[in-house]
Amino acid sequence: MDIFVRQGDSLWYYSQLFRINLQLILDSNRNIQPAQLAAGQRIRIPGFVAQIYTVRQGDSFWSIAQRRNLSNDALLLVNPTVNPNRLQVGQTIRVPLRITWRLVQGKQEYDFTRMMNDIRRLQNVYPFLQIAVIGNSVLGNAIQEVRIGTGPKRVHYNASFHANEWITTPVIMTFLNDYCLSLTNQNPIRGLVTLPLYQQTTLSIVPMVNPDGVSLVINGPPEVDPWRTRVVELNNGSTDFSGWKANIRGVDLNDQFPAEWELERERNPKVPGPRDYGGERPLSEPEAIAMANLTRSRDFARVLAFHTQGEVIYWGFENLEPPESEILVNEFSRVSGYEPVKTIESYAGYKDWFIQDWRRPGFTVELGTGINPLPLTQFDEIYQETLGIFLAGLYG
């Protein structure tokens, strides 16, 4: 919600007026110097929208503010051109509305278009979120990174490396929404006050690494050639893409990283297809390149890649992981009920490469149980199990 600075006002005053932490207001207005506020400057107040209200008989600014649990001054701020002493029946004014509900409705088929709409809606209400495009998919879809928090500890989460594991995206987007709600409404999550997490940790989220593949699984093949013909051929002539893990070119993005890539290639398919083909070389695909470049530039303390299924957490690679990894995975297990598994015979994954090159904690978290894509009937259970991991990744 936008307001305009009045002579003599300060950001601290707006923080008190709207009951929003000053840090969140500062981070929602990064282009403004607090000590140099000028009358007429536009300020964004996170966690609010301005609702249109039609004046009724007997209304006054004071009575409207009381009904909405607002101060009279808050109402004046969002209506700078309205004379409060001359309200007319039928006149429309703007009323601040605090958002206390989720904007993200995750329990539905969740493709790239839906995610983009939700990211835009979240950033509009929570402008302290920082959005960046870290690269583009084969079909030109923007791979989005969302950052939240200001702390020196840098943590990264990602989802939907694999196309038919797309349920991980609405799960992680729901957490992002709940985190924002907790911050602006000062409501703890599972007893945790989240503002200290925000101040201690900068969280980077890539909610959909493989947008082309996710859309393929949910919506079917592209309508235009050559991609339509090509993907159907790669899928053995079938238009059922429920078993498709790869990107649109038939390359498995989580077999693309230079961490014993050759060993993974030896045992996997040598031609493009729905799953497990790691390409002709590491980091050949734009989606994998985007993730590698992001990781090199951000200097993450730890990374968590969310996949499905199995209710397990993989946390080792070639005994290169630090002792901290075992402490963290035991906490993840405690809060989720998921089983820690140090290693399996698998290479070339994102967390493998991170552990190998940085010697820092990296995890692959396998959500839910069953056959991919997991049914939406599991969404609530998966979210409740994973919520503890999302939080522990910040405080651990």
Q: Where are the beta strands (DSSP E) in 309-379?
A: 312-314, 339-341, 362-367
Assigned token pair, 141:
């879809």
Q: Using omega within 30 degrees of 0 as the cis cutoff, is the peptide bond preceding 356 cis?
A: no
pLDDT by position in tens, the chain (length 396): 999 999 999 999 999 999 999 999 999 999 999 988 999 999 999 999 999 999 999 999 999 999 999 999 999 999 999 999 999 999 999 999 999 999 999 999 999 999 999 999 999 999 999 999 999 999 999 999 999 999 999 999 999 999 999 999 999 999 999 999 999 999 999 999 999 999 999 999 999 999 999 999 999 999 999 999 999 999 999 999 999 999 999 999 999 999 999 999 999 999 999 999 999 999 999 999 999 999 999 999 999 999 999 999 999 999 999 999 999 999 999 999 999 999 888 899 999 999 999 999 999 999 999 999 999 999 999 999 999 999 999 998
Q: Do the first three CATH levels of 2-98 and 112-213+282-395 match, i.e. the same topology?
A: no
Non-local CB neighbours of 296 within 8 Å, separated by 6+ positions: none
The domain limits of the chain are: 2-98, 112-213+282-395
Please list, residue by residue across 364-396, b when 16 or more beta carbons sit within 10 angstroms of its beta carbon and e when fewer do. Answer: bbbbbeeebbbeeebbeebbebbbbbbbbbbeb
Tokens of 61: 């600014």
Whole-number Å distance between alpha carbons of 124 and 48? 10
How far is CA 361 from each of CA 160, 320, 393, rounded to the nearest angstrom? 20, 9, 11
Residue 35's pLDDT is what? Answer: 86
Which residue intervals of 78-167 are DSSP H helices? Answer: 112-125
Identity at 379, one-letter amino acid code = F
* pTM value > 0.95: yes
Q: Of these residues, 110, 126, 198, 347, which one is catalytic?
A: 347
Is 3.10.350.10 the CATH number for 2-98?
yes
Show Cβ contacts of residue 271 under 8 Å, excluding neighbours closer than 6 positions: 250, 277
Handedness of CA 248, 254, 257, 260 (dihedral sign): negative
Tell me the DSSP string of 310-326: SSEEE--STT-S-HHHH
> How far, in Å, are 38, 246, 280 from residue 267 at the CA level?
65, 17, 14
Name beta bridge partners: 135: 143
**Does 366 participate in catalysis according to the annotation?**
yes
DSSP at 348: S
Q: Is 347 noted as a catalytic residue in this protein?
A: yes
Q: Which of 165, 264, 287, 366 is catalytic?
A: 366
Distance CA 259, CA 354 (A): 9
- CA torsion, points 193, 199, 200, 205, in degrees to nearest 10? 90
Domain 112-213+282-395 has CATH 3.40.630.10: yes
